[in-house]
A and B are shown apart, each in its own frame.
Chain A
């Protein structure tokens, strides 16, 4: 099974000599050279661990790799978040901590009580058995994954209430939460509302992902139906 194809006699001799001088070989960090890790075929519900942890696997529900979300990255063609609206990308478990689905459910239940709509094209929403209550498929609750994203959308006036709710529930679950908030810029390309509101709420908005507005609908069927 080993991919190294090294002469075992020479390897043992080098190890023996190195041991005598109290030094050891330091391998290059890379793919395991002895093929010690094997990917097993997983079945439901354990398969969700792979889908929500391996960025090379596509989320079938959204057709997107990674965490399976488009957010405002395609807002110029979807108009998912319009002027005056705010999209929230609430990510659990990142970076490198992981999260249980029961912890995600604690937050989705709290958000459901605010009567905020969950984004339909989102892998976590697809796994909900009751969106109005924010409950997930019970068979998933004892599965742990690397990270997952919950997406909701509200009017801009709701931002303080939603962020406060997420912050309070984050203290009750045993993981890390990373929040992104998005909005559509005005015709001049400015965001005069959300950024200043976030600063007022004591958030440091140093980094952002910016959609430059170069996307357009080009699919034949989509342009035809638009006409």
Chain B
């Protein structure tokens, strides 16, 4: 699951994008992992993440029971409780933070909790270094993104990529990201609602609606 590594943007654009995730390893530390993952998500939730996920569902969920009145009454706030209760299998759990301070405070609590699961931080290289230093730990391993090699120009433009690649599994289509950009630019949808609409399509909970909202607002000023 490399669903957080290849987010499009420069280092500065990850200032509000910090993903902390826990992953059990089969045969090594997966015994009792379901309870530990619930504990992990519980600790993360105390630090007000903008999204969390358990590999099946996220704080922003689609609905099969929509009717026309949804335009006026749909909630755009994260709903993390069902995500924690919905951990039923050994998989990855993730929390997305919109500031380094929140991420560092969460990591400090995770160090104290000593869950024994592998904990990873996905953000800019320098951002992760800073968080590790703030918590007084040394990084164990690092995996660098070398970006996309697109020799045949198959990818959409950079503004669309910044939005769509926040779901690394490809569940947020480029066309949907473009549609939301256009709708916000035309004043047909406010950036908050458009960002949450995109987040609903990412079942892992790795999508960052705060960064998406910022990018959508920036799109209206161009």
Complex-state Cα separation, A62 to B70, whole angstroms: 41
The answer to whether B174 and A95 have CB atoms under 8 Å apart is: yes
What distance in Å separates the Cβ of A10 from its nearest Cβ neighbour in chain B?
Answer: 10
Give the contacting residue for B143; candidates A77, A97, A180, A216; CB below 8 A. A180
Interface residue? A39 (CB, 8 A):
no
State whether the Cβ of B173 lies closer than 8 Å to any Cβ in chain A.
yes
B67–A72 CB distance below 8 A: no
Contacts of A218 in B (CB 8 A): 28-29, 31-32, 116
Known: A147-B170, A176-B154, A218-B31. A185 touches B138 (CB 8 A): yes
Sample 16 A-B pairs with CB under 8 A, ordered by A number: A29-B197, A73-B118, A73-B120, A74-B28, A91-B6, A96-B173, A178-B147, A189-B138, A198-B144, A206-B9, A207-B123, A209-B4, A209-B122, A210-B121, A210-B141, A220-B31
What 0/1 readout, one digit per residue, does chain B (1-45) give for beta carbons within 8 Å of chain A?
Answer: 111111101110010000001010111111110000000000000
Chain A residue nearest to B161 in the complex (CB): A95
The verdict on A77 contacting B25 (CB below 8 Å), with A65-B92, A206-B124 known, is: yes
A71 contacts B2, CB within 8 Å? yes
Closest to B194 in A: A29
The interface residues of chain B lying within 8 Å CB-to-CB of A87 are: 143
Query: Interface with B: A42-50, A111-119, A129-137, A167-175, which one?
Result: A167-175
Check if B164 is an interface residue, CB within 8 A of chain A: yes
Q: Which of A29, A69, A163 has the most CB of B within 10 A?
A: A29
> Given contacts A180-B2, A222-B28, are A215 and B116 in contact (CB under 8 A)?
yes
A175 (CB) vs chain B CBs: closest residue: B154
A222, closest chain B residue (CB):
B28
Q: Do the beta carbons of B118 and A74 come within 8 Å of each other?
A: yes
B215 at the interface (CB under 8 A from A): no
A187 within 8 A of B: yes
**Contact at A205–B146, with CB atoms within 8 Å?**
yes
Residues of A within 8 A of B (CB): 3-6, 25-31, 33, 53, 55-56, 62-78, 81, 87, 89, 91, 94-97, 146-147, 149, 163, 166-167, 170-171, 174-185, 187-191, 194-195, 198, 203-222
Beta-carbon nearest neighbor of B20 in chain A: A212
Dominant secondary structure at the B interface: loop
**B14 close to A207 (CB less than 8 A):** yes
Q: Which of B150-181 contact A (CB under 8 A)?
A: 150-152, 154-155, 161, 164-165, 168-171, 173-174, 176, 179
Instruction: Evaluate contact between B23 and A74: CB separation under 8 angstroms.
Output: yes
Query: Do A63 and B26 touch (CB < 8 A)?
Result: yes
- Chain A residue with minimal CB distance to B198? A29
Q: Main SS of the interface on chain A?
A: loop
CB-CB under 8 A from A5, the residues of chain B are: 67
**A219-B30 Cα distance, complex, nearest whole Å:** 7
The residue from B9, B65, B170 contacting A95, defined by CB atoms under 8 A apart: B170
B204:A94 contact, CB within 8 angstroms: no
**Min distance, Cβ A164 to any Cβ of chain B, angstroms:** 12
Closest to A176 in B: B150
Which of B64, B114, B174 has most chain A Cβ within 10 Å? B64
Q: Quick check: A78 and B64 within 8 Å, CB to CB?
A: no
- B145:A180 contact, CB within 8 angstroms: yes
Kindly report which residue of chain B lies nearest to residue A226, judged by CB atoms. B28
- Identity of the chain A residue whose Cβ is nearest the Cβ of B153 in the assembled complex: A176
Max count, chain B CB within 10 A of own CB: residue among A62, A74, A195: A74
A147 to chain B, nearest CB (A): 6
Write out the residue numbers on chain A whose beta carbons fall within 8 Å of the beta carbon of B90: 63
Cβ-neighbour of A217 out of B29, B92, B150, B174 (below 8 A):
B29
**Which residues of chain A are within 8 angstroms of B67 by Cβ–Cβ distance?**
4-6
What separation, in Å, do the CA atoms of A166 and B147 have in the docked complex? 13
9 nearest CB pairs, A to B: A189-B138, A213-B140, A66-B1, A215-B118, A182-B143, A210-B128, A55-B169, A74-B25, A189-B139
> How many angstroms between the C-alpha atoms of A187 and B150 in the bound complex?
36
B107 and A212 form a contact (CB under 8 A): yes
